[in-house]
Structure 1
């Protein structure tokens, strides 16, 4: 948990032990202004650099991430508690994003010619716009940064980053990696600032776009502030993803993937599987296998190879999750396993399964950002889809069925989310768009779509 020693400093805490890792000072307003000016100057040079030259540097960043993988992975695990093996996987994904963006940007952002209605020639160009300010969360300390920064660097913009304070060390190491890889000075800047300074930065005349990954509450606040300043935003917010297990599902596969989908990254993932909506004929069988698998997960030190579930990132987050479980039980939910705060050091929470989950309970209505699963019985496919869409969120979801054609049809026509996984669980794929609808935000990243979020789509009309 982050703790303040005074209003100008804060500490980062190792969630495995509860001990202090480092102390940091917030920047002064004068320093922030200097960084912004440096970022603007760097952008004015970078926008004229060719895609080939940009791409060679971005690929070098991907390689340098691999060169410093051990150090970065260990630091991420120390700062937020994810399994060390998953920290390594995260860095591999980051390298994949670098390679994809470096290769595809020239195709995605190439000029387009169109014939005008009067017979003249039209040209569409995609021009960088300047400084993009990213406000990022702690749950994927490297990926969240790479996801928006690399895309926008390839588009020709410069970057300001406000990372979550409890992963400040990871942010600074990423900045060092970018520098070592040869990214020109001023293009990627880590700001150690508080919320008030962040709000002021959104309004800065040189900041041209704002992207946030965080909660729906944070998204509304940032969206309002950016909107008042007429700044373009991309908001990747929370969710309560539903995974449908239909009557014809491969039960063994469904249980395996649903467990992974709930506890990956210690359950602290916006696109994690959270609500499990199971057809009535197989509900009891799924419940038995799912609860057994969740009960058998090994909770412990995230750096040990046999650990399957590490600590939550902060004490306040664990307290909130436990409160959501207690309130759900008070309103009729039943605990099938877990649900008890363990003794000892660290911010651990056991894999927990709730059933009899109904509207009005936090387990049904809210995002449970940790290893707590909600089981819901559905009468049939139509009822399962109704329950899945009965949410203010719409980031991702899943369907398990041996009839893939039917599952794809459900996903395409009825699932009110930005992403759907069929007979699997997934997190992010560089070649596919990432984003949601409703209270899960708006805008897209990955798949080339993110490269067009913060560019000027410019029309040039040429007369005879």
Structure 2
């Protein structure tokens, strides 16, 4: 049973039966059977459908956003923004998919030779709970625009969101006169996923989640010789150097750390600060963190909602406690609150060293970890001393920040700005943060057959 516990109250609000063998079979069969109709619709036809889905999401924002607040505790303002961002992603690929997938002419000994980008078939998206609508759109928009059909296996803790996403897609697909199966929601328990990956009707897998889960998915898919894209965890460094704008840095770092109650793979997690400005930045960060309101995510005045699950809160508190016990300075928070729900206070840990838990492990919650270093070289070295390589930020002069970005081992670097995902730009990680890219022109080409075509006669 897929059981939803409202993290604000701790009470069960929804129970959904996972798909059985009959539903799995019908879903995969429909995805395969609908491929030809979706492919034959062409780029312009597919773009029209994606725009219609985006419009429907925007029209129904007031209905859809509260599902996230209920199922995983996202503050309602952020939830509204997420629906809009999901719609934007669909619109972006509708507008730019033809450009991204255009034939690439390459000179050879042929009369004409080129690469064309053809769909692979059906892509399985295995998604987490922390951004239910955005991550569904990020997975589906490029895959669908490229002509693939999509099966979405969403997280067991957001089945209401998953069902609503499917309903929006299927309504607009039906209005376009298209068959069922082009986009499907398949509610599964985790042990069921392996057999679906192995099914011959699944041609590729997109996975977002933990490094442990990604390793399992990659292993199964590799055994079936199926391509995968993995977007996994991060221990994202944010380097603040002496020549940076400290006020701007403090504003952005605070926002990055507390969006979605800090439950984001690309949030700033290790704030690495040059010693000469360390105390000044710590003071600025503390002032900003103290002003944040933790509370009911359905209230527009709330900045930070609850942690999504009880076990996640317990794990976060363990990390904080071990770090304080090891000698870190606790400037804010750090104590489990009483009462209902899975709330955790905004917490600030300073003088954290690399051997402490909150620096070694990914913290998934509103916990800021701040560490002093001697200079920029030490900051870069510390940033790279991690098994992860998802994203990073640098605060300095633009020229120096760009130079340092080349030395940081991460899939994306923001210089004097917030690390974010943007439909126009590729994102993804290296090392244990995964491989492959999502979004931008790179993302749509992950799940295509880059077919070389050689047309004779041969030329001298």
The TM-score with structure 2 as length reference comes to 0.96
- Runs of 4+ with deviation above 6 angstroms: none
Cα drift, residue 254 of structure 1: 1.1
The answer to whether 1:176 aligns with 2:167 is yes
The answer to whether 1:134 aligns with 2:154 is no
Residue aligned with 2:440, SS:
coil
Q: Which of 27, 32, 39 is 1:40 aligned to?
A: 32
Q: Deviations over 1:93-137 (max 9, x none)?
A: 111111110011111112222221x35321211110111001000
The answer to whether 1:146 aligns with 2:116 is no
Residue aligned with 1:132, SS:
strand
Aligned to 2:116: 125
Aligned to 1:56: 48
Cα drift, residue 358 of structure 1: 1.6
Aligned to 1:294: 289
The answer to whether 1:69 aligns with 2:61 is yes
Cα drift, residue 330 of structure 1: 2.8
The answer to whether 1:313 aligns with 2:304 is no
Cα drift, residue 174 of structure 1: 0.6
Alignment of 1:350-429 (within 5 A): 350-401=345-396, 403-411=397-405, 413-429=406-422
CA distance in 1, matches of 2:141, 2:438: 11
Residue aligned with 1:165, SS:
coil
Aligned to 2:441: 448
CA distance in 2, matches of 1:38, 1:430: 28
Contact 1:295 1:338 (8 Å CA) reproduced: no
Cα drift, residue 356 of structure 1: 2.4
* Unaligned stretches of 5+ residues in structure 1: 1-8
Q: Deviations over 1:166-196 (max 9, x none)?
A: 1100000011111222353211111111122
Q: Deviations over 1:338-373 (max 9, x none)?
A: 110000011000111112212222211111011111
Aligned to 2:456: 463
The answer to whether 1:101 aligns with 2:93 is yes
The answer to whether 1:157 aligns with 2:152 is no
CA distance in 2, matches of 1:204, 1:389: 38
Contact 2:117 2:445 (8 Å CA) reproduced: yes
* Aligned residue-pair number: 453
Cα drift, residue 463 of structure 1: 1.8
Q: Out of 177-186 and 20-29, give the one that drifted further.
A: 177-186
The TM-score with structure 1 as length reference comes to 0.96
* Unaligned stretches of 5+ residues in structure 2: none
Q: Deviations over 1:347-403 (max 9, x none)?
A: 0001111122122222111110111111110101111111111111111111112x2
Residue aligned with 2:276, SS:
helix
Cα drift, residue 15 of structure 1: 0.6
The answer to whether 1:15 aligns with 2:10 is no
Residue aligned with 2:428, SS:
coil
CA RMSD of aligned residues (A): 1.1
CA distance in 2, matches of 1:122, 1:45: 28
Cα drift, residue 285 of structure 1: 1.1
Alignment of 1:243-262 (within 5 A): 243-262=238-257
Aligned to 1:267: 262
Residue aligned with 1:289, SS:
helix
CA distance in 1, matches of 2:93, 2:193: 28
The answer to whether 1:82 aligns with 2:70 is no
CA distance in 1, matches of 2:371, 2:304: 24
